[in-house]
Amino acid sequence: MNSRRNFIGKLGAGMAGLFMVSRVKDVYAINNQGRLPVVVSTWNHGLKANDAAWDVLRQGGYALDAAEAAARITEADPEVITVGYGGLPDANGKVTLDACIMDERGNAGSVAFLEHIKHPISVARLVMEKTPHVMLTGKGALDFALSSGFKKENLITPLAKKAWKKWRKEDRTFKPVINIENEILPNHDTIGILALDAQGRLCGACTTSGMAYKLHGRVGDSPIIGAGLYVDGEIGGAVATGSGELVMKTLGSFLVVELMRNGMSPEEACKEAVHRIAAKIEGYEQHQIGYLALDIHGNIGSFSMQPGFEYALKNDLVSDLVKVNSYMR
């Protein structure tokens, strides 16, 4: 998690000429300025994920393959305690996963409350491609995955089990972390990915183990099309991270894309979606929300509720973390 704080200062003087760099206090915003292909992912684990996406994109590959490849890297990483294998469990000690995927034509697939499968994003893609449905949940999603050849695995790592046992002994309450940066074990950090390929096809993916110590059966925004992810291949895409309940109540990613359709830049749209939550939802101060958007011309924008949100950007010139402006200071 430390590397989240280390990105500032990486921008060389030469880079400043190539990218639009704006400063707000100590926060930088970089714009991709229309470079294709490009991939953006939430949080610092997005750096590794973007590398996998880039392997697809730089060869002229499909944005959907890039987004899925990126998601699989984070899902398989036991050090990421908020996604896939290694994710922190729910209140009952079960790792339950949510994921969705969407392509440039509006096709979508999703799984929710899925146990024992390391790569929910690939199950979501199969739901999209091989079934007439959009979403499968719980045991039904597991049965579908197993019958499609996925392996049943134990996803709880010793570290995650230890953290859960400590929580069960000492705490037993569910509380979203306000300032993620100060936590040793942050309890939410979904990966959302938006990839735009050389042919201008924009696709997205979102995958998470959800909020740590959530009630068994709880599903967040991440597998909900329009909440955790939305893509319109003629406009752009958006992903969300943070307290899913607030994103779901405002259908955040759909809202961001609609605001872009109505002429807002990706940055303005993300900002408005965060402001909408602040205006409508009581207790928003206790939550982190991060939106990340990419339009089909390669413009990027992001905005969060609390300081500390960042995204990883990769194109043919740069692979870096970008700090995001926030509503709260």
Stretch that binds ligand SD4, among 2-10, 188-196, 256-264, 302-310 (CB under 6 A): 188-196
Residue 190 or 299: the one with the smaller Cβ distance to ligand SD4 is 190
CB of 22 to ligand SD4, least distance (A): 25
Site residues for ligand SD4, window 96-155 (CB under 6 A)? none
CB of 252 to ligand SD4, least distance (A): 10
244 binds ligand SD4 (CB under 6 A): yes
41 binds ligand SD4 (CB under 6 A): no
CB of 233 to ligand SD4, least distance (A): 24
| 3-class SS string, 218-269 | CCCCCCCECCCEEEECCCEEEEEEECHHHHHHHCHHHHHHHHHHCCCCHHHH
189 binds ligand SD4 (CB under 6 A): yes
CB of 299 to ligand SD4, least distance (A): 23
Distance of alpha carbon 165 from alpha carbon 51, whole angstroms:
34
Cβ neighbours, 10 Å, residue 77 = 17
- Dihedral pair phi/psi, residue 320, rounded to 5°: -155, 165
- Among residues 74, 82, 190, 207, which one is catalytic? 190
Judge whether 131 counts as a catalytic residue: no
Distance of alpha carbon 241 from alpha carbon 186, whole angstroms:
13
Residue 118 contacts residue 153 (beta carbons within 8 Å): yes
Residue 210 or 307: the one with the smaller Cβ distance to ligand SD4 is 210
Site residues for ligand SD4, window 194-233 (CB under 6 A)? 208, 210-211, 220-222
Stretch that binds ligand SD4, among 143-151, 167-175, 238-246, 299-307 (CB under 6 A): 238-246
CB of 20 to ligand SD4, least distance (A): 27
Strands 108-114 and 135-137: parallel
CB of 253 to ligand SD4, least distance (A): 11
Q: Is the dihedral of CA 160, 137, 302, 312 positive or negative?
A: positive
Stretch 74-93: interaction string toward ligand SD4, x if CB under 6 A = --------x-----------
Residue 50 or 243: the one with the smaller Cβ distance to ligand SD4 is 243
Ranges of beta strands (E only) in the chain are 20-24, 27-31, 38-42, 97-102, 108-114, 135-137, 191-196, 202-208, 229-232, 236-242, 289-295, 300-304, 310-314, 319-323
4 binds ligand SD4 (CB under 6 A): no
Which residues does 56 contact at the CB level (< 8 Å), separation at least 6?
Answer: 62, 65, 66, 69, 195
Site residues for ligand SD4, window 248-267 (CB under 6 A)? none
Residue 300 contacts residue 31 (beta carbons within 8 Å): yes
> Which candidate, 260, 19, 213, 2, places its Cα nearest to that of 252?
260
CB of 241 to ligand SD4, least distance (A): 4
188 binds ligand SD4 (CB under 6 A): yes
> Which candidate, 54, 118, 116, 50, places its Cα nearest to that of 83?
118
Residue 251 or 318: the one with the smaller Cβ distance to ligand SD4 is 251
| Number of residues this chain uses to bind ligand SD4 (CB under 6 A) | 14
The binding site for ligand SD4 (CB under 6 A) comprises 82, 188-190, 208, 210-211, 220-222, 241-244
Q: Which residues are catalytic, by number?
A: 190
